[in-house]
């Protein structure tokens, strides 16, 4: 009798399953963990992409445990990070420890779980873009004018404690240009740009990256108009070229002079003195022709 009852239950379940499949209902599709990101090693957030819901209301549950532990925890905050996310506050964040994270999709037809994601908070740091980007044209006396770019470190990244070594990438271009000019600066929060095109409106953006982690998003574009009378020639370069040219000319003149002296010496060599033993050259210079004849 028990076997008959069990057979009936199985039959009813199979019938229900067939009806559900005919109605387009099925277990949810396997979700996918997209990424986890920490703005500064103190908190982090993970996001996932849901699959199809199988035609039924589907709930998602993120679970995690630290490597080596057996106790399974559920996501502490599903709201702060936005839809399909889990936010880990300072209370739930530990560095130098591996998190094993999984997302489960659940509806009346069954459960589907994502592949596990292994996360070390130390290596998922992606800071916010640098803040307070400012642009200013400077005209110092007796020096070439320049564009002074200044900014502040990402607000949620603690650079004062020494946990991070932040590097920055700055890019700029004339408004109608297609290619960006890029500059890298480690640690510094300012940059001087020379050789700008007068009359152009320049667009500037900046992003940051820690020693371990990923580049931030680009900051919103800031712009500045370069005046038409903005000088662009680098006078120091021309002074260097002029001095170098003068030195080269002096070397060439000196070489030609030495070469010319050698040529004259070869063409018109000095007249050799007499080779007769006992002959007095001075006597030849002061003696009269009659005396020379009498000597012979």
**Structure tokens that stand for 123 in this block:** 């290596």
Q: How many domains does the chain have?
A: 2
The rounded distance, in Å, linking the Cα atoms of 279 and 259 is: 36
Position 3 scores a pLDDT of 52
The rounded distance, in Å, linking the Cα atoms of 22 and 229 is: 76
Position 10 scores a pLDDT of 47
Does 119 score more than 70 pLDDT?
yes
The string of pLDDT tens digits covering residues 252-294 is: 777 766 665 555 555 555 655 555 555 555 554 555 554 444 4
Position 210 scores a pLDDT of 87
pLDDT averaged over the chain? 79
**Across residues 43-52, what is the average pLDDT?**
90
In a domain, 203, yes or no: yes
The residue from 120, 149, 181 where one domain ends is 120
Position 290 scores a pLDDT of 47
Does 231 score more than 70 pLDDT?
no
Both 140 and 199 in one domain: the answer is yes
**Across residues 22-40, what is the average pLDDT?**
82
The rounded distance, in Å, linking the Cα atoms of 23 and 225 is: 63
The residue ranking higher by pLDDT, 232 or 138, is 138
Task: Return all residues near 253 (Cβ < 8 A) that are at least 6 apart.
Answer: none
| pTM, 2 dp | 0.60
In a domain, 285, yes or no: no
**Across residues 6-13, what is the average pLDDT?**
51
Both 160 and 110 in one domain: the answer is no
- Contact call for residues 192 and 148 (beta carbons, < 8 A): yes
In a domain, 235, yes or no: no
DSSP codes of every residue in 98-151 = EEEEEEEEEETTEEEEPPPEEEEGGG-B-PPPPEEEEEEEE--TTS--EEEEEE
């Amino acid at each position: 009798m028990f076997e008959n009852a069990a057979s009936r239950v199985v039959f009813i379940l199979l019938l229900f399953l067939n009806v559900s499949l005919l109605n387009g209902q099925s277990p949810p599709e396997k979700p996918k963990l997209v990424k986890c990101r920490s703005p500064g090693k103190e908190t982090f957030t993970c996001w996932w992409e849901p699959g199809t819901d199988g035609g039924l209301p589907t709930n998602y549950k993120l679970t995690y445990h630290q490597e080596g532990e057996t106790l399974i925890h559920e996501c502490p905050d599903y709201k702060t990070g936005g839809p399909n996310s889990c936010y880990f506050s300072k209370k739930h964040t530990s560095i130098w420890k591996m998190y094993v994270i999984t997302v489960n999709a659940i509806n009346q037809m069954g459960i589907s779980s994502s592949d596990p994601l292994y996360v070390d908070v130390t290596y998922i740091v992606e800071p916010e873009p640098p803040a307070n980007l400012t642009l200013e044209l400077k005209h110092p006396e007796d020096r070439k004018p320049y564009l002074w770019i200044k900014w502040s470190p990402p607000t949620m990244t603690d650079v004062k404690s020494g946990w991070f070594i932040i590097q920055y990438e700055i890019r700029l271009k004339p408004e109608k240009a297609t290619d960006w000019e890029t500059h890298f600066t480690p640690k510094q929060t300012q940059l001087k740009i020379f050789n700008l095109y007068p009359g152009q409106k320049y667009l500037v953006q900046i992003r940051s990256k820690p020693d371990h982690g990923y580049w931030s998003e680009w900051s919103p574009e800031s712009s500045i108009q370069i005046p038409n009378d903005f000088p662009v020639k680098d006078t120091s370069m021309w002074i260097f070229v002029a001095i170098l040219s003068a030195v080269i000319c002096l070397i060439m003149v000196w070489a030609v002079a030495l070469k010319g002296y050698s040529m004259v010496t070869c063409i018109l060599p000095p007249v050799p003195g007499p080779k007769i033993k006992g002959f007095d050259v001075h006597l030849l210079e002061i003696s009269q022709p009659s005396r020379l004849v009498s000597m012979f």
